[in-house]
Structures are given as structure tokens and as C-alpha cells.
Amino acid sequence: MTVPLTVSEGAPLRLYLTKRVPKKVNEPVEAKVLAPLFAFDREVVPNGTQVFGHVSRLEPVSKWARTKAVLGGDFSPLHIAEIEFTSMQLPDGRRMELQTVETPGLNSIAVLKPPKQKPVQNQPASHGGVIGSAEHKAKEQVDLQIERIKGIPDLVRGTNKKEWLYDYTMSRLPYHPQYVRNRTRFDAVLKAPLSFGAASLNPDSLALIGSQPVPGSIAHARLVTSVDSLKSKPGEKVEAVLEQPLFSADHKLVLPEGTLVTGSVVMTKPAGWFHHAGRLRFTFKDIELTPEAAALEDARKTSPPAPAAAPARNEPRQLQLRTQAQLSGAESATAPVNVDSEGGVQAKESKTRFIGTAIALLITRAAADNDEGRHHLETNGQSPNVGGRTLGGGLGFGLLGAIAAQSSNNVGAALSYYGLAWTVFSTVIARGAEVQFDRNSAIDIGFNPRNAPK
């Protein structure tokens, strides 16, 4: 049995930049693959594969983003760099041409040193008989998936503190150069399929193809439909495609890459004022194999030698089955999220945002401190509270505000109050983050077939 090894059009290449890129048209770009690409039952593009491209065009930021920057004293003509990736070099030295959709960077930085995982200790099964056997197989399956699948929390997260400090300092300048940061992540969607030839398969390895995943099985997938806690409604259809094959504990293929999993939105709650975060929940109930998998299943069920007059099929049969699955991990497009044990998702609000509010209060207090008893008056009657009013001006209007604050203590105090008001609004009063999953967002799907609908 043979199967073509093809990465389909629309699949995303999950990449990260290996060096900072100036926001200039035709600027060369170098990146590496962050999550491997799979075709049917095997890896075809490993982690670390080099990918090359260029800045194809520059797009202006939104009016709201531009207004916020100006209010903060940044008058640079801000742009978003759209990058197109055109080739990649495989570990064996082969160079493949690519066609990807022009794409901006994601709002996250690649973590190249994933957190250490705690060792899993063997524990006796809590049940005997069939249930105990299922639990044991489920544990083996989870262990296998830990080895095979790079978890979503390990793909992403936060920014390098030194780079953040540098970027923040530069943003306080009225004009500054613009870059796409080193290790910025990209989901570069393929405009044309990638072919890696064909592979021969052992029929024994296909004995479980299209069968129900055992309890506790976790599959790594990408969303085909976008879901949003603000716009989505209960009952809306949700579709996802497996990015990596799912195997049994004895390494028999259960669901190949490209398998379609379908479900619906169960609950949505939009974000509210005072940073009440949005909430969302959706489940999956149907599995549909790829045409190639359905054809292999048909061929496997045909006992060799096949009858000479066997009827030919015009199209491969689509194998479908019912299941019960829920979200076990996810990456939101706008903010980090928490996924609970029932698959519910809530946007994660950073508690450190209050540090900025506290610092703004201290700066405002320093800027407004014109106590004659502690400050020697200048000849013009102004208190020489240079440090306080400089910080206050910078809080309100960046470098220009710090310069303007030198004209008067009152100017420095006024700018500091303005900066404090803006900080309090953005960290305390503003609306919370929505749960937003764009097309191709990475998710982990946990199966529980024992509760599968009839």
C-alpha cells in the first residue's frame, strides 16, 4: 500500500525569526521551523529547518493604534511588515521552493528552551478489568503524545525582558527605527501544496485506522474556522484539522494528519469593563478521515488477492465516526488563555499590569511634589524639582513630554496626571481581553470516547 506524502495548501508553517528584521521592503528574512510538518503518518519537515523570505510590503497600523502612539508621544509613521517566505533548506541539503501568503508576525515570541516536564511515576490502576485496562492504555497514550507532540504552552509565550525594555525605551522617542523582533513567530500559510513523494505502508500498521481513539488520547490540531468570545454564538459550527497523526500505544495509526474533526460552540461570554475577561467553550463530536485514509481502509479490508471483477469506485469513500472530544490546550490570537478541565477557555489577565499603575502613581506624586520646605526655590520662584517633573512629563508624553516639563512644574504635573489617567484607564477600567482563535490557531484536542454519543 502506498500513500502520497503531501502537505496541503492552506497548512501553516509555524516559524520564528532567527534575527531582527528592519521594516523595509525587500529586506531579506531568515527563519526556522518551530513545529514540524507532517504528511499522513510521518514527519516531513523537522524542527529547525531553515526558511528564507523577504519583506514584501509595509502596511500602516490601524487609526486607533496610531492615535494611541501619538498620545504617548510617538510620532513615527508606524507600519506592519508583511513577510513572504519563498524557500526552505531541509536538513539533508535539499532546497524546496515555497509559496506562502504574505503574513505579519504573531503577537508572541518563540520559546526555544521549553520548561522541564516533571517525570511521570508509575501508579497502579484504580480499576480492574476492562476499565483498568483502558486507563492503562490511556496513560501509555498520553506518555506517547508527550514524546511526539510539542505542547502548545511550549510553543509560545512571553517576551525577553531585555528586548522588551529596549523596545519600550525606543517607543518613548518621538521618532525611532522600526524592526520585527528576533524570535517573532509567524504562521506562514502555504499557497501551494508541498510534495514529498510517496511512502509504502505496512498493512498491519493500518489495523486501527479510523477507529475510536482510546480515552485520554490527545491530538494536536489547527482550527479551520475562527472562533471569538465576542462574535461567536452557541451552536455555530467549529472545524479543526489534525496537524500531526494520532497513534495507539503500540504505534498503530489511528487518525492520520489531515483528519477533519467537527463540533460546535457550546458557550460564549464577551469580555466586560474593568478587565472582566471573555469566556468560550466548544466541543467536537464528529471525525472524518481524509480520502487517502478512506481508500487505504477499503484496500485493507479487501482480502488479497482481490477479485478480478471488483467494482471500481469513482471517488474514495469518506469514513466518518462519532466521538466526544474537548479542548485540552489552545493558543489564542490576542491574549494568553486558561483551559479548564471541561474544555472551557478564559482569557488570562496579567496581574503585573498593576505594577505599571503603582509606578505611575509614584511618578505623579514625585512630579506634583513642589513642597517649598524640601526644595530650594529658584530665583524665578519655581521649585527645582527637575527629576520629578521630568519623569512626570515622560509618563504623559514620552521624550517630548519630558522636555516640555522643563518649562514649568505645573506643566510636568499636568502631564503626569494625564499619564496617570491613561494608565489607570488601560490597566483598571478598560475592557478585558476576548478569547479569540483565528484560522490555523494551534489547539490540543482531548478524546473521551466512553462518553461518545450514540
The full DSSP string for 222-246 is EESS-EETTT--TT-EEEEEESS-E
Q: What is each CA distance from 287 to 2, 281, 344, 364, 453, in whole angstroms?
A: 23, 19, 21, 58, 13
Tens digit of pLDDT for each residue in 74-119?
778 888 999 999 999 999 999 999 999 999 988 787 776 654 444 4
Of 20-24, 200-204, 215-219, 342-346, give the lowest mean pLDDT range: 200-204
For residue 298, the model assigns a pLDDT of: 67
Of 63-67, 91-95, 115-119, 447-451, give the lowest mean pLDDT range: 115-119
Q: Where in the chain is the domain with CATH 2.40.128.260?
A: 1-112+155-200, 202-301+317-349+433-454
Give the whole-number percent of the chain exceeding pLDDT 70.
77
User: Average per-residue pLDDT in the chain?
Assistant: 79
Q: What is each CA distance from 357 to 71, 261, 361, 362, 378, in whole angstroms?
A: 17, 44, 6, 9, 32
The pLDDT confidence band at residue 185, using thresholds 50, 70 and 90, is very high
For residue 379, the model assigns a pLDDT of: 45
Would you state the CATH architecture of domain 1-112+155-200? Beta Barrel (2.40)
33, 200 Cβ separation under 8 angstroms: no
Residue of 334, 240, 326 whose CA lies nearest to 282 = 326
Rounded distance between C-alpha atoms, residue 385 and residue 374, angstroms: 10
Residue of 317, 315, 286, 290 whose CA lies nearest to 301 = 317
Tens digit of pLDDT for each residue in 240-273?
999 999 999 898 999 999 999 999 999 999 999 9
In this predicted structure, the answer to whether residue 238 has a pLDDT above a threshold of 70 is yes
The pLDDT confidence band at residue 149, using thresholds 50, 70 and 90, is very low
For residue 21, the model assigns a pLDDT of: 94
> For the residues 398-402, what does the mean pLDDT come to?
75
Rounded distance between C-alpha atoms, residue 256 and residue 201, angstroms: 13
In this predicted structure, the answer to whether residue 314 has a pLDDT above a threshold of 50 is no
Residue of 152, 106, 109, 186 whose CA lies nearest to 337 = 152
Structure letter (DSSP) for residue 102 = -
Rounded distance between C-alpha atoms, residue 224 and residue 230, angstroms: 18
Kindly report the CATH number that applies to the domain delimited by 202-301+317-349+433-454.
2.40.128.260
Q: What is each CA distance from 303 to 49, 237, 254, in whole angstroms?
A: 41, 39, 21
Of 22-26, 82-86, 311-315, 383-387, give the lowest mean pLDDT range: 311-315
Residue of 364, 340, 287, 341 whose CA lies nearest to 318 = 287
Which residue type occupies 191?
A: K
In this predicted structure, the answer to whether residue 423 has a pLDDT above a threshold of 80 is yes
